[in-house]
Chains A and B, each alone.
Chain A
Amino acid sequence: MNYSVDKDGFYGDFGGAFIPEMLYLNVKKLKDCYLDIIESKEFKDEYKSLLKDYVGRPTPLYYAKRLSEKYNSNIYLKREDLNHTGAHKVNNTVGQILLAKKMGKTRIIAETGAGQHGVATATVCALMDMPCIVYMGEIDIKRQAPNVARMKMLGAEVRAAKSGSKTLKDATNEAIRDWIANPKDTYYLIGSVVGPHPYPDMVARFQSIISEEMQFQLKEKTGRNYPDKVIACVGGGSNAAGAFYHFLDNEKVELIAVEADGLGVLTGETAATTQIGTEGIIHGSKTLLMQNSEGQITEPYSISAGLDYPGVGPLHAHLFKSGRGTFLGATDKEALEAAFELTKLEGIIPALESSHALAVLNKLDLKPNENVVINLSGRGDKDMETYMKIMDNE
Chain B
Amino acid sequence: MSNRLENTFKEKQNILNVYITAGFPCLNDTVDIVKELVSSGVDMVEIGMPFSDPLADGPTIQYSSEIAIENGITLELIFKQVEEIRRSVQIPIILMGYYNQMLQYGVEQFVKKATQVGVDGLIIPDMPLNIYQQEYKKLFEKYDIKMSFLITPQTADERIIEIAKESSAFLYVVSSYAITGGKSEIQNYQTEYFKKIAALNITTPKLIGFGISNAETFEQACTYADGAIIGSAFIKALTDSENIKETIKQFITSIK
Contacts and interface: CB of A to CB of B under 8 A. Distances in A.
Contact of B126 (A163, A181, A284): A284
Contact of B100 (A20, A180, A295): A295
B103 A181 contact: no
Interface stretch (A68-76, A97-105, A111-119, A169-177): A169-177
Interface residues of A, number: 35
A294 B125 CA distance: 18
Interface in A165-194: 169, 173, 176-177, 180-184
Given A21-B149, A21-B151, A294 B75 contact: yes
A280 to B, nearest CB: 5
3 closest pairs, A vs B, by CB? A295-B104, A20-B125, A21-B150
B232 to A, nearest CB: 13
Interface string B157-179: 00100010000000000100111
A180 B128 CA distance: 16
Contacts of A278: 104
Contacts of A56: none
Contacts of A294: 74-75, 101, 104-105
Contacts, number: 106
Contacts of B56: 20, 22, 180
21 contacts: A18-B128, A18-B131, A19-B128, A20-B55, A21-B150, A169-B53, A177-B58, A180-B178, A183-B177, A278-B104, A280-B103, A281-B98, A284-B55, A293-B104, A294-B74, A294-B75, A294-B104, A295-B101, A295-B102, A295-B103, A295-B104
Given A17-B128, A281-B99, A24 B104 contact: no
A291 interface: yes
Contact of A282 (B53, B102, B127, B179): B53
B100 A24 contact: no
A24 B155 contact: yes
B197 to A, nearest CB: 14
Given A18-B99, A24-B154, A291-B100, A163 B51 contact: no
B129 to A, nearest CB: 8
Contacts of B126: 18-20, 281, 284
Interface string B126-147: 1110010000000000000000
A16 interface: yes
Contact of B177 (A176, A180, A297, A298): A180
A121 B154 CA distance: 27
Contacts of A291: 100, 104
Contacts of A16: 128, 131
A368 interface: no
Given A183-B177, A291-B104, A295-B104, A22 B52 contact: no
A279 B106 CA distance: 12
Contacts of A279: 103
A280 B100 contact: yes
B17 interface: no
A276 to B, nearest CB: 15
A163 B59 contact: yes
Nearest to B125: A20
A284 B52 CA distance: 14
Given A180-B177, A181-B178, A281 B100 contact: yes
B222 to A, nearest CB: 22
Contacts of B174: 21-22
A296 interface: yes
B21 interface: no
Contacts of A26: 154
Given A18-B128, A21-B125, 12 more contacts: A16-B131, A20-B125, A25-B155, A173-B53, A177-B179, A180-B177, A180-B179, A184-B177, A278-B104, A280-B103, A281-B100, A296-B51
A187 to B, nearest CB: 15
Contact of A176 (B55, B99, B163): B55
Interface in A3-51: 16-22, 24-26
A163 B66 contact: yes
Contact of A177 (B51, B55, B125, B156): B55
B191 interface: no
A293 B88 CA distance: 31
A72 to B, nearest CB: 45
A296 B69 contact: yes
A164 B52 contact: yes
B155 A181 contact: no
A363 B177 CA distance: 51
Contact of A295 (B58, B105, B150): B105
Contact of B179 (A19, A163, A181, A297): A181
B104 A280 contact: yes
Task: Pick the most buried of B52, B66, B150, B155: most chain A CB atoms within 10 A of its CB.
Answer: B52
Given A163-B59, A294-B74, A181 B177 contact: yes
B198 to A, nearest CB: 19
Contacts of A169: 53
Contacts of B178: 180-181
B152 interface: yes
A21 B104 contact: no
Contacts of B154: 22, 24-26, 183
A113 to B, nearest CB: 15
